[in-house]
Structure 1
Amino acid sequence: MLQNEKKQSFIALGRFLSQFSEAGNTKKESVLGNDLFFDAFVDLIHLSQSHNGWYTPEQVYFAINSWAEALTEENLDQWLSAYTFDASQDEKTVALILAGNIPLVGFHDFLSVLITGNKALIKTSSNDQHLLPFLAKYLVFADETLKDKITFVEGKLENFDTVIATGSNNTARYFEYYFKDKPSIIRKNRNSVAILNGQESKEDLEALGEDIFRYFGLGCRNVSKLFVPKGYVFDGFFEAIFKYQDVIHYEKYANNYDYNKAVFLMSNFKLLDNGFLTIKEDASYASPISSVFYEFYDNLEDLQNRLENDAEQIQCIASNNLTKNSIAFGQSQKPQLWDYADNVDTITFLLTTK
């Protein structure tokens, strides 16, 4: 198989990452390259918050653990089994313009480019300039043939065949114009929603809190909007998410909470507030940090039709199987390798683009 050697290097990376946990870092003798990389990675994890105030050790460890769980031989085989790889396929240089809202948010694109036998020309976000380059060095150590496949660029991107770019709606318009002559995947703002029917258990709502507060709500897979039936009472929701109260002790989050709450109050908006999260009735999908919007619905069929019509604004839907293609509460930040951003199959794009 064309990608087999590359697959083995990512399996080695998964084993390396599996040693690191917020509960404690455990060096395993069988892991490749620990003498060169283990201590340096521990240092980088704890320096990450100095590089980006949102990248607390807790959040960085969560991202690392997620990728450690994903990069197993079983998962990689299941993911790649859906595709046909052609050894005669021409190698492409793929320009990757990465976001930096959450740790390693661009890793899936990076993985997809390399696993399909292409070259990655990478422009990292100013908010996440250290984690991916470190992991790239580990991959090159595991497989020297990757050395000529990975290039990080600080200035202008040049000499590439295709583009995968992630940004805001504003930057997406710029990307679409600037790269109009190149095959591309251009990602815009998306948000995730949850649908409740009032029958959720406390455990369900606690898990929903994970979807809301993980990465401080900065990811496109974070739930920023709740759909609830008319007459829904939020007491149980607030009780269940109280376990996440420590989020207010992070200065950047607290500053956003104070600012956004003040803006809402000065605008005479009606709020529900528990001291670390405000919820506001609003038709928009994108709520500010430390706030979640909600909206009442009359029946699930109408709501499903609306969500299908608004599909380009929505990354994922969390519910207890109340609508098709929804995910379980607590799983929004645990996508599988085959769960593609914006539902655009990156591997198919890379294999079929000339």
Structure 2
Amino acid sequence: MIPGKADAEAGNPSRTDKALRLCHISEALMARNEAILGFQALLRALSEDSYCFEAHRLAFRFLWRVNDDQLGHLGELWASATRPGLTLGGALEFLIEAFRDDPERYELFAAAANLAMRLDRIDLAENLFFNCLEPAPDDDWREKSVRIKYDEISDDYDAGALHLDTARHFLVAVGHRMAGLSGLTVVDAACGTGALASGLRSHARHLIGMDLSPAMAGRAERRYDRMIVGDMSESLAALGPVADAVVCGGAVYYRPDLSPFLAGAAAALKPGGFVLFSEFPAPDGAGTMATIGGTRRYCRDPEFLCGLAHSAGFTEMGFEHGISYGLPVRFWTFARNG
């Protein structure tokens, strides 16, 4: 129990009301593009009531948007306002104890995990992200709804900074794994509009794109030597063992069951080829979990994921930590046996 929690839970209506009024003032200032003044109002709110969920939520919405060179300083200001004397790490741990059971917690913990990742506090970032998860429902792969979603947003997809930043982080992992390799046949599964193509091209003699959405594939087609439209698991399985590498920069999280993708990748790879993909983590021993807010993402614990890969005929080559859509992710590589 963090000191002072019992007193806070007993409630001080006047301090709580004042904190909420300051939150309203902050939102008004933010709407007028007076972001720093708005953030200062939130710091005052937290000094009134460190358990004011709305003040934390708005503070982290602001921190998500600030530049990396300002993030550490502003994060420390938030920590000090939350509880004088707490370090930034201690204040983030405070969030977990205070709000881990709040039904509206997703945005807060997603943004807190983003802050921790950007400050290279990886273990803490993943622990914060785990508070965004719940046991996975018994869902089926929603192919039609995903295809329609991306058909509808294809025209504006390349304008999204979050998508471009996700591609940039994934290509760092690609560069590490493919360093010194060239002349490969590479499959970019769920290629979208082709944000990875230029980074993959230096390693590829033959670059194949595939995407579920005809509209996304149409925008990407000029960047690839061949384009395949359809479900990536089925398309990979039908391709035959022609690829040296299969990469997937961000779509496996739509899959409640990852086995069809892994089986498809194994079928598409030559013996000794590898698959590299991004996977949002779940706590050890949790199996498959899912996010409670935002885009529904399925997340698997490392042992469970590796078990699925081994069953599909792969050997683990390791992973790197990274950021995908602002959240902590692991870029896993598995080599095809044989």
What is the TM-score when the length of structure 2 is the normalising length?
0.31
Q: Kindly indicate whether structure 1 or structure 2 has the higher relative contact order, using CA contacts under 8 Å at least 6 residues apart.
A: 1
Larger strand share, 1 or 2: 2
What is the TM-score when the length of structure 1 is the normalising length?
0.30
Task: Find the structure with the greater CA-based Rg.
Answer: 2
